[in-house]
Amino acid sequence: MRVLIGVIGALVVLGTFSSVLRTLLIPRPTRSVFTRLLHKTVQVPFQFVADQCHRFETKDRVLAPVAAVSILFHLVGWLAGAWLGYSMLQTAVSGFHAMDALRETGVALFTLGFASSRSVELTLLDLCAAATGPIIIGLQIGYLPALYSAYSRREAEVTTLQARAGSPAWGPELLARYAQIGLTDSITDLFRNWERWSAEVSESHTSYVVLSRFRSPRANDNWLISLLAVMDAAAMQLALNPSHPQADARLVLRTGFVCLRNIAAVWRLPFEPDPSPDTPIRLTYEEFAGAVAHVTAHGYAVERAPEQAWPHFSGWRVNYEDLAYRFAYLLDAVPAPWSGPRRTSKEDITPVTPVDRKPNVAC
């Protein structure tokens, strides 16, 4: 029995260290079962309360602490796992009762220093436990600056987009506002910035999975909705104006849906890696035609009629629509046009386009 307890204890300690390494140190998409279980334990009660809310602003406030609480629970879970594993090893080596083993290990793990043993084997276990506690806490503290630095870079572009694409962001609104102020030709600069942004988010949100759950400082902003708006704007430009420069629009689309697919792979969400351009999408032609009317009313010039542009637009959108809708549902992102349903709210929020007011010049 003591051998079995010792083997289980060693497996618990090794599993705890494996989870710490996968979550904090290995710079690639690796996520342990223990980490997923801890995150689910935190997510479920917050989501239950949020589902009872009728206003999105209230729901957003309820869900805002989820990521931070999840990080705290990771630390508590790792320390608890180390405590349990070393206590089982103490029991196997010394024959201590459970409470005595927990006391001996807890004193060493948290470096309290009021209990010790003269046994060489127990002293070695105490030293290992004493090193484990500060190592886990130190790694967690060092993990936070990298996490919040990636979050800050992500949100800087999301905030900048608010003035360009509305709040919440919407792809046609982006084209309309650029046309209003005569910057349609420079929209390629925005596409280049968001191509780089998508690559950074792909790297950071697969290495630090909890980042996807970090919500924006303002309820109407969301990283997923912003990315969807930029991709929709690029797809509309390619569909409506084939003579315009295409390279940057095509690259931001490809980088954007690759970003969503990389994150989906970590989340273990299924997706079609190479969908046919003829596959139907959930956005309707009527919605697309209404958006074309919206952008043209604000000065955006088009070369194709909506019925001609629709097959080209849907052929691009099929690459990312399904995953964007899945993530918007799972993350309870702000309801926005062209972003699919939510858990408890089916409404769409249509952004209002500001009117440029020009001074009257007396003749």
Q: What is the Cα–Cα distance from 233 to 165, expressed in whole angstroms? A: 9
Region class of 219: left (phi > 0), else alpha (psi between -120 and 50), else beta: alpha
User: Are 104 and 232 in a shared domain?
Assistant: no
What residues make up the domain containing 29? 2-141
pLDDT score at 194: 97
Q: Using CA atoms, how far apart are residues 346 and 169, in angstroms rounded to an integer?
A: 17
Low-confidence winner among 80-89, 200-209, 350-359 (lowest mean pLDDT):
350-359
Predicted pLDDT at 31 = 65
Determine, yes or no, domain membership for 357. no
Based on the fold, state whether residues 201 and 131 are members of the same structural domain: no
Q: Which amino acid is at 117?
A: S
Distant-in-sequence, close-in-space partners of 210: CB < 8 Å, separation ≥ 6: 39, 67, 70, 71, 147
Percent of the chain's residues with pLDDT above 90: 50
Assign 247 a pLDDT band (cuts: 50, 70, 90): very high
Q: Are residues 230 and 296 in the same domain?
A: yes
Q: Do 230 and 322 sit in the same domain of this protein?
A: yes
Segment 209-224 shows an average pLDDT of 92
At 118 the pLDDT is 58
* SS3 label, residue 141: helix
- Residue-level pLDDT at 112: 58
Q: Are 33 and 99 in contact (CB under 8 A)?
A: no
Q: Could you tell me the two tokens for 162?
A: 């608010």
List, as one string, the DSSP characters of 164-219. Answer: HHTTTT-HHHHHHHHHHTT-GGGHHHHHHHHHHHHHHHHHHHHHSGGGGGPPPSST
How many Cβ atoms sit within 10 Å of the Cβ of residue 305?
11
Here the tokens at position 4 are: 């079995």
Token pair, residue 164, equals: 């360009």
303 and 270 together in one domain: yes
Cα gap 97→90, rounded to integer Å: 9
Q: Are residues 214 and 310 in the same domain?
A: yes
User: Does residue 111 sit in the same domain as residue 189?
Assistant: no
Peptide bond into 168 cis (omega under 30): yes
- pLDDT averaged over every residue in the chain: 86
Q: What is the pTM of this model?
A: 0.85
240, 296: one domain: yes
For the segment 306-361, what is each residue's pLDDT rounded down to a tens digit? 999 999 999 999 999 999 999 999 999 999 999 998 887 544 444 444 444 444 44
Task: Flag whether 148 is in a domain.
Answer: no
Q: Are 105 and 85 in contact (CB under 8 A)?
A: no
Q: Same domain for 135 and 35?
A: yes
Same domain? For 232 and 270 the reply is: yes
pLDDT tens figures, 258-298: 999 999 998 989 999 999 999 999 999 999 999 999 999 99
182 and 316 together in one domain: yes
* Whether residues 114 and 219 fall in one domain: no
Please name which of 234, 248, 235, 228 lies closest in space to residue 312, comparing C-alpha atoms.
235
